[in-house]
A and B are shown apart, each in its own frame.
Chain A
Amino acid sequence: MTWTNWLPLAIVLSSLVPGLIIFSLREDQTRLRVALNLGGVVVKLALVVALIAGVDRGLQFRFELPFLPGAPLVLQADALSLLFVALSSVLWLATTVYAIGYLEGSPLRSRFFGYFSLCVSATVGLALAGNLVSFLLFYELLTLATFPLVVHRGTPESLRAGRVYLAYTVGGGTLLLMGVALLHGLAGSPDFQPGGYLHAQVQEHDLALRVGFVLLIVGLGVKAALIPLHGWLPRAMVAPAPVSALLHAVAVVKAGAFGIVRVVYDVYGASAAAELDLMQPLLWLAAATILYGSVRALQQQEIKKRLAYSTISQVSYITLGVALLGPIAAVGGLVHLVHQGLMKVTLFYCAGNFAETLGVHRIREMDGIGRRMPLTMTAFSIGALGMIGIPPMAGFVSKWYLGLGALEVGQDWVLLVLIGSALLNAGYFLPLLWRGWFAPPADWHENNWANERWETHWMLLLPAVFTALLALLVGLLAGTALSPLGWSQLIVNREFEI
């Protein structure tokens, strides 16, 4: 065992250990808690950088522990896992800073930050998981770690949301377990590999493979909020803003989408999935989810609810890109994993800032907010315009590749879905921007942090500006090799052996 074996484990532990220590802290040990939180973040980022540098030099990182008979617990780094690990680590940095500012002075912070760290550990473990069984382990841990965050406020409404969340995710997790067990019976649990490992079974076990696929996709679709499994997501909006950011951009929803990518590319493989005729239904489902989410978002009058339905729609772009089964569309789907994360997390930070600073929750209360909070509103505008897909923003890059990919595989109707969704996106985001910038200012009852140097607490402002800048940069610099786009192309080249 050398350091290349231990690095993936160390990345998981770098948030797990601080999390467990934080649980045992007293409420008033604020400094120690902040130090542990930020220390964990910094260590994790450093380790992730080391991992990326190592993979770039061609080193193999693999940690193995005996687990189930015939299925070890494997953590390893490949191009796809690095994409997700890097995303969630960077966003964890921003969200930790945001959460420290957001929860300043509120009760039960040790509990909150403990579970917060567990949640990120589970996400990173899930990204690094090297086979289906390990993936399942971290997927379930993620469910458990997120529940206390959803119900953190302890109000009847949040408890109800928590119950709905559990009903959906535990049900999904059980189906996922069934699917994993079924596939393990057919082909064991080898490591994920580009091109999948089930191709040899297609002739003999086509029924079992189809059933297994449905079980896996339904299990993952709960977290990825595919219709009709999305019901928990809008309700979970009652959670504090950092939790929403975590659910929508860093961890939970992403975990579902990432799982779908894994299953299609690295378990079944594009060719086996095509032979089994599995992709067309998934494609329809993804397209339907995109349109449904956008239409429902249009009907919402609360900012966070609107953003929630927008997530349902936007995350399905990832599934859509995967389900099209062409290399160009795949690039679009994968890159959207990162782009959507950056844009959506920005939007949620901003929504949280509006609510915390001025008590603004509903859309009509946003009138003229751009004059009182110009930086937040600018960040919000960058996120919203990116979501609509205005060139050269990040969202445009994703949609461009998705559209080209659809044409490449001859599914022209997908283009209509994309255009329709872009129009709907414009329909539900542009009124917000217009109100924020151009409408006469409303009369806000609360005005916290009015005497601060900045428009709001700096720990709330900084993350929003930081992620907005990132969202802008990944769009502008999409052509460079180290951008998410370049990285996605690398992953896709390996999968489709181009």
Chain B
Amino acid sequence: MNLALLSLTLPLVGALLLILLRPAGGRWVIMINLASTLAAAGALHQVMQTGTQWLELGGWQAPLAIRFQLSPLAALLLLFTAGLHLLVALYAARSRHAIGGEDFWPLSCLLQAALAALWLSGDLFNLYVTLELLSLAAVALVALAGAKAYRPALNYLLLSLAGSLAYLFGVALLYGRYGVLDIALLSELAEADVTTRLALLLMSLGLMLKAALWPLHLWLPPAHAGAPAAVSALLSALVVKGPLYILWLLWSRIAPVELAQSAGGLFAVAGIFALLCGGWSALRAPYLKTLVAYSTVAQLGYALLALGLLLRWQEPSLSAALWLFVLAHGLAKVSMFLAAGELQYTLGSKRVRALKGASQTMPLALFAFAVAGGSLIGLPPSGGFLAKWLLLQPLFQQPQHWPWAIGVLLGTLASAAYVFRVVALGFDRARPTPASFHPDRLAQWLAMLPALLVWCLALISKPLLLWIGGVSQ
């Protein structure tokens, strides 16, 4: 637990110090992230030995206490968050054009701290606080892109506040009905009465809005596409996963089984729509980063589908699929946004069309994009493939479940279509480049690094599943 707290406090203290002292940020943040990653890895190692740990803040006992809980999954997500921040910071320190200003550094630290607190929180109000912090940091980061990003940032802020409010209402209703907010306690008490239903509905809507789950996703593409590249990477890979985590806690832990089963079907259908609509919009998007942003909408559909089927069939093995989608998508999306940022900066245009011949002019960045795309499509041996494989296993067990496989099939084809739209363009004939054309090789390699990692995920499937599975027992 101490290591986990260290992994949380390091970026928090770092953010405050960076704001107060204003040193040149990059090097410090990389060091903070590295230390935080190591601490999270240590925490994961520890929690695998001891099992889930609890920390009562302020020394009060439950039900009064505010509890932090460190499960293997929370530790894994902690490691994931710190690791992705490290990867992004490495790239951002090299490519100053991708961060939108020195304020990026403290804000990204704050974002990391908010996320770490979110994974560790064990009660609904605490989760609300971390959610608010997360959204504020995220909105500020979007606004770093300058005047043209103010509008999407403002939309993001308003919708995010609306989402928080809905969530808070739900929390209040639950508190009025049961008198506790601790998730472990609520899971024993919850019944399927009107208050609980209303609370779950409000909270789910709020969270779906914040996580940009279909059909409440419309704010995401302008915000993620408008932000600086490094920010987009963090937003797509991590920020939308926070509310998703709470949604998962809410429905798999607190909601009574019969409610969860009926809601599961809705979630699953929404997931398939997300895959199709997001994929279609990505296919039509005129700008590269908009394409990648819509692909986030589509890929969240996989997570939503896994969540829905998990609830509908009460099949705990599907939560492994859900979290693998999250991990694989996070890594792939970081790589994709960084590669997109590098491509659009060096080629001097935001349009997809500008990528004509990129396989000759900027082969590394295009390759990074393609490799990350391979994981989104779910090609073996990437993490996306492993997740899809785990999703398909329970789905094929009974013939009446087979029609859901068509959703997965369509989702795969849609993602293949938009990924290969970009890749195929890259193999077009290149125009001769001007003498001033100097792509940054190191930055491109840094963009490729997460994509290479995600392609190895299936090879470490055994420990990964152990870490994730520690939770569902």
Q: Which residues of A contact B (CB under 8 A)?
A: 65-69, 73, 108, 111, 133, 136-137, 140-141, 144, 147-148, 151-152, 154-155, 159, 162-163, 166, 170-171, 173-175, 177-178, 181-182, 184-185, 207-208, 211
Known: A140-B379, A151-B424. A69 touches B465 (CB 8 A): yes
* B412 A174 Cβ-Cβ under 8 A: yes
Q: Among A68, A144, A159, A163, point to the contact of B379 (Cβ < 8 A).
A: A144
Contact with A along B402-433 (1 / 0, CB 8 A): 10010011001100100010011001110000
In the complex, how many angstroms separate the beta carbon of A477 from the nearest chain B beta carbon? 40
User: Which A residues touch B388, using CB under 8 A?
Assistant: 177
Contact with A along B352-396 (1 / 0, CB 8 A): 000001011001000000000010011111000010111011001
Q: How far is the CA of A237 from the CA of B397 in the complex (A)?
A: 42
* A67 B393 Cβ-Cβ under 8 A: no
* A162 B459 Cβ-Cβ under 8 A: no
Q: How far is the CA of A279 from the CA of B344 in the complex (A)?
A: 53
User: Which A residues touch B416, using CB under 8 A?
Assistant: 166, 170, 174
* B427 A162 Cβ-Cβ under 8 A: yes
* A166 B424 Cβ-Cβ under 8 A: yes
User: Which B residues touch A173, using CB under 8 A?
Assistant: 379
In the complex, how many angstroms separate the beta carbon of B184 from the nearest chain A beta carbon? 29
In this complex, what residue of A is CB-closest to B389?
Answer: A68
In the complex, how many angstroms separate the beta carbon of B98 from the nearest chain A beta carbon? 25
User: Which A residues touch B420, using CB under 8 A?
Assistant: 163, 166, 170
* B427 A151 Cβ-Cβ under 8 A: yes
* A159 B461 Cβ-Cβ under 8 A: no
* A68 B399 Cβ-Cβ under 8 A: no
User: Which B residues touch A73, using CB under 8 A?
Assistant: 381, 459
Q: How far is the CA of A111 from the CA of B412 in the complex (A)?
A: 27
User: Which A residues touch B396, using CB under 8 A?
Assistant: 181-182, 185, 208
Q: Which residues of B contact A (CB under 8 A)?
A: 357, 359-360, 363, 374, 377-381, 386, 388-390, 392-393, 396-397, 399, 402, 405, 408-409, 412-413, 416, 420, 423-424, 427-429, 458-459, 461-462, 465
Q: Among B379, B392, B428, point to the contact of A181 (Cβ < 8 A).
A: B392
In the complex, how many angstroms separate the beta carbon of B332 from the nearest chain A beta carbon? 15
* A162 B424 Cβ-Cβ under 8 A: yes
Q: Among B389, B399, B405, point to the contact of A208 (Cβ < 8 A).
A: B399
Q: Among B381, B412, B429, point to the contact of A154 (Cβ < 8 A).
A: B429
Nearest first, the 10 closest Cβ-Cβ pairs linking A and B are A154-B429, A181-B392, A137-B380, A185-B396, A151-B427, A182-B396, A170-B416, A174-B412, A140-B379, A166-B420
* A148 B427 Cβ-Cβ under 8 A: yes
In this complex, what residue of A is CB-closest to B386?
Answer: A68
Q: Among A66, A159, A171, A208, point to the contact of B413 (Cβ < 8 A).
A: A171
Tell me the interface secondary structure of chain B in the complex.
helix
Known: A67-B461, A108-B360. A181 touches B427 (CB 8 A): no
* B458 A181 Cβ-Cβ under 8 A: no
* B399 A163 Cβ-Cβ under 8 A: no
In this complex, what residue of A is CB-closest to B460?
Answer: A66
* A67 B381 Cβ-Cβ under 8 A: yes
* A178 B405 Cβ-Cβ under 8 A: yes
Q: How far is the CA of A268 from the CA of B426 in the complex (A)?
A: 41
User: Which B residues touch A177, using CB under 8 A?
Assistant: 378, 388-389, 392, 412
Q: How far is the CA of A208 from the CA of B429 in the complex (A)?
A: 47
Q: Among A108, A141, A144, A154, point to the contact of B428 (Cβ < 8 A).
A: A154
* A159 B424 Cβ-Cβ under 8 A: yes
In this complex, what residue of A is CB-closest to B380?
Answer: A137
User: Which A residues touch B363, using CB under 8 A?
Assistant: 111
* B393 A170 Cβ-Cβ under 8 A: no
User: Which A residues touch B374, using CB under 8 A?
Assistant: 144
User: Which A residues touch B359, using CB under 8 A?
Assistant: 111, 148
* A170 B360 Cβ-Cβ under 8 A: no
Q: How far is the CA of A171 from the CA of B359 in the complex (A)?
A: 24
Q: Among B397, B458, B465, point to the contact of A67 (Cβ < 8 A).
A: B458
In the complex, how many angstroms separate the beta carbon of B431 from the nearest chain A beta carbon? 12
Q: How far is the CA of A211 from the CA of B402 in the complex (A)?
A: 10
Given contacts A111-B363, A136-B380, A166-B420, 14 further A-B contacts (CB under 8 A): A66-B461, A66-B462, A67-B461, A69-B461, A141-B379, A154-B357, A154-B429, A162-B427, A166-B416, A166-B424, A177-B378, A177-B392, A178-B409, A185-B393
* A68 B458 Cβ-Cβ under 8 A: yes
* A69 B462 Cβ-Cβ under 8 A: yes
User: Which B residues touch A171, using CB under 8 A?
Assistant: 413
In this complex, what residue of A is CB-closest to B370?
Answer: A144
* A184 B393 Cβ-Cβ under 8 A: yes
Chain B CB within 10 A, most for which of A66, A137, A148, A181: A181
In this complex, what residue of B is CB-closest to A140?
Answer: B379
Q: How far is the CA of A137 from the CA of B408 in the complex (A)?
A: 18
* B427 A159 Cβ-Cβ under 8 A: yes
Q: How far is the CA of A184 from the CA of B393 in the complex (A)?
A: 8
* B427 A154 Cβ-Cβ under 8 A: yes
In the complex, how many angstroms separate the beta carbon of A337 from the nearest chain B beta carbon? 25
User: Which A residues touch B402, using CB under 8 A?
Assistant: 211
Q: What are 19 residue pairs bridging A and B, where the CB atoms are less than 8 Å apart in the complex?
A: A69-B465, A73-B459, A148-B359, A152-B427, A154-B357, A154-B429, A155-B429, A159-B424, A159-B427, A163-B420, A170-B413, A170-B416, A174-B409, A177-B388, A178-B392, A181-B392, A182-B392, A207-B399, A208-B399
User: Which B residues touch A137, using CB under 8 A?
Assistant: 380-381
In the complex, how many angstroms separate the beta carbon of B127 from the nearest chain A beta carbon? 31
User: Which B residues touch A67, using CB under 8 A?
Assistant: 381, 458-459, 461
Q: How far is the CA of A182 from the CA of B402 in the complex (A)?
A: 10
Q: How far is the CA of A155 from the CA of B428 in the complex (A)?
A: 7
* A140 B380 Cβ-Cβ under 8 A: yes
Q: How far is the CA of A211 from the CA of B406 in the complex (A)?
A: 13
In this complex, what residue of A is CB-closest to B379?
Answer: A140
In the complex, how many angstroms separate the beta carbon of B328 from the nearest chain A beta carbon? 14
Q: How far is the CA of A65 from the CA of B462 in the complex (A)?
A: 11
In the complex, how many angstroms separate the beta carbon of B83 from the nearest chain A beta carbon? 22
